[in-house]
Chains A and B, each alone.
Chain A
Amino acid sequence: DAMVIQNPRYQVTQFGKPVTLSCSQTLNHNVMYWYQQKSSQAPKLLFHYYDKDFNNEADTPDNFQSRRPNTSFCFLDIRSPGLGDAAMYLCATSVRLGQETQYFGPGTRLLVL
């Protein structure tokens, strides 16, 4: 089945230690998104790629970076995780920008010690 895959499902890191979360997709969609979801809140968009074009949301902290080496993979890098960065990180894809359905992966829950 075509899908959005996120690894790992759970990630533990230490305060200030860089961490990378990964997302892959077999849908061959052009757009990939990263969301942060804190407990009992709605997902918050961090950034998205349309093909190789990177778009950062204005309020996304500089501590968060992303890479998309090819159509299938996208990475979220947190350079110096703080306690406030503990959250569920969701990857999503869509065929194109606009009023398109976004398809979400299962998420990676990040714990910062």
Chain B
Amino acid sequence: GNSVTQMEGPVTLSEEAFLTINCTYTATGYPSLFWYVQYPGEGLQLLLKATKADDKGSNKGFEATYRKETTSFHLEKGSVQVSDSAVYFCALSSNSGGSNYKLTFGKGTLLTVNP
């Protein structure tokens, strides 16, 4: 079945530090890949997505590249801000099988950015 593994948190950084949150996946077919962000007490917001190999998703200074050869979709940002403090979820949606509507989520990574 499909699965997503993302780095365990929590991750604590100082403002303006470089961020990487690793995400690898196992899926049949050719999945679409997503990063969602959840701010405290809120629902999930789509941060970025990529639908095919070598696509790069980007938004608000965050980037992630769909790497089929390494089955990875690592999230990066060059300079984090305090306002980036949130939980980040990597997710996939597969195009094969009877459950192609389902988002498979990683466990989430809590990021705290200190001033």
Contact = CB atoms under 8 A, between A and B. Distances in A.
B79 to A, nearest CB: 27
B31 A99 contact: yes
A42 B106 contact: yes
A98 B108 contact: no
A92 B45 CA distance: 10
Interface in A2-33: 4, 6, 31
A83 B26 CA distance: 34
A42 B43 contact: no
Nearest to B92: A99
Contacts of B51: 99
A97 B101 contact: yes
A99 B32 contact: yes
Given A42-B89, A43-B105, A99 B45 contact: no
B102 interface: yes
A106 B44 CA distance: 7
Contacts of B95: 98-99
B82 interface: no
B100 interface: yes
